[in-house]
Amino acid sequence: MSLMGQMMQMPLSISSLLIHAARHHGDTEIVSKRVEGDMHRTSWAEVELRSRKLAQALQRLGCEPGDRVGTLAWNGYRHLEIYYAVSGSELVCHTINPRLFPQQVAWIINDAQDKILFVDLNILPLVEKLAPTLPALKHVVLMCGRDNMPREHVLDNLLCYEELIEAEDGHYSWPTFDENTAASICYTSGTTGNPKGAVYSHRSTVLHAYASALPDSMCLKATDTMLPVVPMFHVNAWGVPYSAALVGCKLVMPGHHLDGPSLYELMEQEQVTISAGVPTIWQGLLNHVQANNLRFSSFRTTIIGGSACPPSMLRTFENDYNVEVVHAWGMTELSPIGTICRLKGKHANLPLEAGQKILEKQGRAVFGVDMRIVDAEGDPQPWNGIASGDLEVRGHWVIDSYFNVDKSPLHQGWFPTGDVATIDADGYMQVVDRSKDVIKSGGEWISSIELENVLMAHPAVQQAAAIAAHHPKWDERPLMVVVKKPGAKVTREELLAFFKGKIPNWQTPDDVVFVDELPHTATGKLYKLKLRQMFADHKLPTA
Ligand code: AMP
């Protein structure tokens, strides 16, 4: 008979991260550029106290374990307090991307059955518009002080964040419960059909925080000043609000000011050492420092993911600015970190260029994530850096199922990522293609099917395919490839104008090209891979 270990059973809990940060790094700062326009300074100790008060307020508003609490907010200290107050009190924090099409935001709120919605000041108009379509919603809390509450609004259930906190005494003990309890939900529109919710547990979140802070991951330390550019509604800002508490580092929250000049100013002012975001953001920052001959005085590491890091960006940061680039790959369904690219001991004496060639890849699996590449029959492919296959993963922080969806997304117990990759003998994974039919522009998804459905409703269109075309700023932008109905006359401009009002403006395709026929696979499906190859060099007029 096996001998059982004799260690304490302490559930992994999100509140324990905050308690640790408050106790051991209580005076370490959290600095936020607020939507109100000013800078705000608080500390881990203060965030913990106010999170307790907010947890009390949520109880007073009638929240019960398992209830979902939504946020439509940028990166800031109040959003951080909501993260901890909600998850820590056994509720489920549901972050929502305000940039989605309003109907999609409403669909997501209704699917999650959010009871309370926390909203940043400049997102209130969106919520006012959607409120009549949100039957389960009981209260909207505006994330501001009394002075900033609007005199006129259309909501009859609008509360003030600071008033809620002021009304509480903070005499609240974080409850203990099963570590597999849901902590947060994030919806992804990176697959076809309606957005799907990934439900993270306390256990998966804490394990992800441990792994993501490791030296070969983000290498986050108490001495760091971390600026998460990645929004808190994008897979919990890649777990930074948790890993930052775990190590007790200083956090700098940029609000909605993500342009190059604003980021540079904030980084210099707060002496940021490490940051994380998508390539489009970094391009904006690099353009600004290059155009103005600026240097970074403290910035040492940038974590780049969400889309492939362009090789030229890696070299510009490293060779011209002495900023280490850490390329990472992940997904909403992976909390998000899957692989991170760092060199091994055996690479120590490689010439710079050879080392950077490796660093262009998406990287090695972080402990806790297991990966494989398989062919169409599901057979594992060799790790030789040449054979490619569908990338599948499993692990402690990989989803097992989606919220409210019965059908399992798994294939033989593995989660199929929709990415096509090679893995070399040293375990470095490189994404070479995508089998899922979506377009990722500046880190945000655009559904090909939605674009195709719009054009298919045009009387002159027989067939329409949306594919990703390369764009220097946004990485990918939608290109429509269209077959006209026989004899029909329609122009590129007319088709582009046809999208107006049917999808968010930023999703409108950049170009339309007309062809006589579209390529199809043997099974009669549209052959998107072939189409992407045909237009691999297509120059977008917007590029
Ligand atoms: P999301 O769920 O929105 O985080 O998107 C996840 C998807 O973004 C992945 O399945 C990839 O298609 C893409 N992605 C994320 N990181 C990278 C990367 N470093 N290189 C290439 N594609 C990436």
Query: Which mutation among 196, 236, 327, 419 tests ligand 1's pocket best, with the greatest number of atoms within 8 A of CB?
Result: 419
**299 domain-assigned:** yes
Which residue puts its alpha carbon closest to atom 12 of ligand 1?
A: 419
Question: 201 and 315, same structural domain?
Answer: no
Query: Which mutation among 234, 236, 331, 390 tests ligand 1's pocket best, with the greatest number of atoms within 8 A of CB?
Result: 331
**173 domain-assigned:** yes
Residues 6+ apart with CB under 8 A from 131: 137, 140, 154, 155
Q: How many CB atoms lie within 10 A of CB 89?
A: 24
pLDDT at 527 > cutoff 90: no
Sequence letter at residue 413: G
Question: 379 and 345, same structural domain?
Answer: yes
Question: 159 and 28, same structural domain?
Answer: yes
Question: 103 and 162, same structural domain?
Answer: yes
pLDDT (0 to 100) of residue 386: 95
> pLDDT tens-digit profile of 100-122?
889 999 999 999 999 999 999 99
Displacement of CA 136 from its chain's centroid (Å): 26
pLDDT (0 to 100) of residue 450: 85
Most confident of 55-59, 100-104, 448-452: 55-59
The helix-helix angle for 240-247 and 202-213 (nearest 10°) equals 70
Q: Which of 435, 453, 488 is the last residue of a domain?
A: 435
If you average pLDDT over residues 157-184, what whole number do you get?
97
The helix-helix angle for 77-88 and 44-60 (nearest 10°) equals 60
Please give the backbone phi and psi of residue 487, each rounded to the nearest 5 degrees, phi first. Answer: 80, -10
CA-to-CA dists, residue 462 to 44, 84, 522, 535, angstroms: 59, 51, 20, 20
Which residues are known catalytic residues? 188, 333, 440, 445
pLDDT (0 to 100) of residue 289: 98
Q: Residue 187 is encoded by which pair of tokens?
A: 């919806």
Question: 285 and 180, same structural domain?
Answer: no
Residues 29, 250: contact at Cβ < 8 Å? yes
From the CB of 363, is ligand 1 less than 6 Å away?
A: no
Question: 506 and 459, same structural domain?
Answer: yes
pLDDT at 192 > cutoff 80: no
Q: For residue 237, is it left (φ>0), alpha (ψ between -120 and 50) or beta?
A: left
Which residue puts its alpha carbon closest to atom 20 of ligand 1?
A: 308
Cα separation, 107 vs 109, in Å, equals 6
From the CB of 275, is ligand 1 less than 6 Å away?
A: no
Whether omega before 409 lies within 30 degrees of 0, making that bond cis, reads no
Cα separation, 261 vs 392, in Å, equals 39
Which residue puts its alpha carbon closest to atom 22 of ligand 1?
A: 307
Ligand 1: atom nearest CA of 235 is 4
pLDDT (0 to 100) of residue 453: 86
Residue % of the chain over a pLDDT of 70 = 99
Strand-pair category, 274-277 with 225-228: parallel
Cα(276) to centroid(ligand 1), Å: 14
> pLDDT tens-digit profile of 282-319?
999 999 999 999 999 999 999 999 999 999 999 999 99
From the CB of 235, is ligand 1 less than 6 Å away?
A: yes
Residues 81, 50: contact at Cβ < 8 Å? yes
pLDDT at 523 > cutoff 80: no
Cα separation, 469 vs 511, in Å, equals 9
> pLDDT tens-digit profile of 14-46?
999 999 999 999 999 999 999 999 999 999 999
Q: Which residue has the tokens 């986050």?
A: 220
If you average pLDDT over residues 203-232, what whole number do you get?
98
> pLDDT tens-digit profile of 68-82?
999 999 999 999 999
**237 domain-assigned:** no
Per the prediction, the chain carries an average pLDDT of: 95
Strand-pair category, 301-304 with 324-330: parallel
From the CB of 470, is ligand 1 less than 6 Å away?
A: no
Residues 324, 318: contact at Cβ < 8 Å? yes
Q: Which DSSP state fits 86? A: H
Strand-pair category, 250-253 with 475-484: unpaired
pLDDT (0 to 100) of residue 153: 83
Range in 88-92, 102-106, 123-127, 347-351 the model is least confident about:
102-106
Ligand 1: atom nearest CA of 438 is 12
Helix (H) or strand (E) holding 130: helix 124-130
Query: Which mutation among 440, 448, 474 tests ligand 1's pocket best, with the greatest number of atoms within 8 A of CB?
Result: 440
* Three-point CA angle 47, 396, 116, nearest 5°: 40
Which residue puts its alpha carbon closest to atom 8 of ligand 1?
A: 306
**244 domain-assigned:** no
Cα(305) to centroid(ligand 1), Å: 7
**252 domain-assigned:** no
**147 domain-assigned:** yes
Q: What is the dihedral of CA 196, 213, 323, 314, to 10 degrees?
A: -40
pLDDT (0 to 100) of residue 376: 87
> pLDDT tens-digit profile of 327-343?
999 999 999 999 999 99
Range of the domain at 482: 439-534
Cα(527) to centroid(ligand 1), Å: 22
Q: Which of 411, 435, 459 is the last residue of a domain?
A: 435
Per-residue pLDDT band at 97 (split at 50, 70, 90): very high
pLDDT (0 to 100) of residue 248: 98
Per-residue pLDDT band at 509 (split at 50, 70, 90): very high
Cα(404) to centroid(ligand 1), Å: 23
Task: Classify 385 as helix, strand or coil.
Answer: coil
Cα(542) to centroid(ligand 1), Å: 23
CA-based max dimension of the chain: 80
**250 domain-assigned:** no
Sequence letter at residue 174: W
Q: Residue 530 is encoded by which pair of tokens?
A: 């072939």
Q: How many CB atoms lie within 10 A of CB 357?
A: 13
Question: 381 and 514, same structural domain?
Answer: no
pLDDT (0 to 100) of residue 525: 73
Question: 451 and 428, same structural domain?
Answer: no
Cα(263) to centroid(ligand 1), Å: 23
Which residue puts its alpha carbon closest to atom 9 of ligand 1?
A: 331
Cα(150) to centroid(ligand 1), Å: 39
pLDDT (0 to 100) of residue 96: 97
Gap between the terminal Cα atoms of the chain: 67
> pLDDT tens-digit profile of 255-280?
999 999 999 999 999 999 999 999 99
Please give the backbone phi and psi of residue 446, each rounded to the nearest 5 degrees, phi first. Answer: -125, 130
Domain count, the chain: 3
If you average pLDDT over residues 344-366, what whole number do you get?
98
Range in 48-52, 207-211, 269-273, 452-456 the model is least confident about:
452-456
Q: Which of 370, 405, 435 is the last residue of a domain?
A: 435
Ligand 1: atom nearest CA of 334 is 2
If you average pLDDT over residues 188-208, what whole number do you get?
90
> Looking at the chain, how many residues does it have?
543
Cα separation, 307 vs 313, in Å, equals 13
Question: 181 and 87, same structural domain?
Answer: yes
Question: 44 and 191, same structural domain?
Answer: yes
Q: Residue 34 is encoded by which pair of tokens?
A: 């607020």
Ligand 1: atom nearest CA of 327 is 19
The CATH number for 454's domain is: 3.30.300.30
Exposed / middle / buried, residue 163 (Cβ in 10 Å: 0-12, 13-18, 19+): middle
Per-residue pLDDT band at 381 (split at 50, 70, 90): very high
Which residue spans within 107-260 are E strands per DSSP? 116-119, 139-142, 158-160, 182-188, 196-201, 225-228, 250-253
pLDDT at 168 > cutoff 90: yes
pTM to 2 decimal places: 0.92
Strand-pair category, 324-330 with 337-340: antiparallel
From the CB of 443, is ligand 1 less than 6 Å away?
A: no
From the CB of 431, is ligand 1 less than 6 Å away?
A: yes
Residue % of the chain over a pLDDT of 90 = 88
The CATH number for 158's domain is: 3.40.50.12780
**385 domain-assigned:** yes
Q: Which DSSP state fits 318? A: I
If you average pLDDT over residues 174-189, what whole number do you get?
96
Question: 456 and 422, same structural domain?
Answer: no
Sequence letter at residue 492: R
Cα(330) to centroid(ligand 1), Å: 6
Question: 429 and 496, same structural domain?
Answer: no
Residue-by-residue DSSP string for 231-264: -TTSHHHHTHHHHHHHHT-EEEE-BT--SHHHHH
Sequence letter at residue 461: V
Long-range contact set of residues 56-61: C-beta below 8 Å, sequence gap at least 24: 56/168, 56/169, 56/170, 56/171, 56/172, 57/164, 57/165, 57/167, 57/168, 58/85, 58/86, 58/89, 58/91, 58/116, 59/89, 60/167, 60/168, 61/116, 61/138, 61/139, 61/159
Residues 380, 374: contact at Cβ < 8 Å? yes
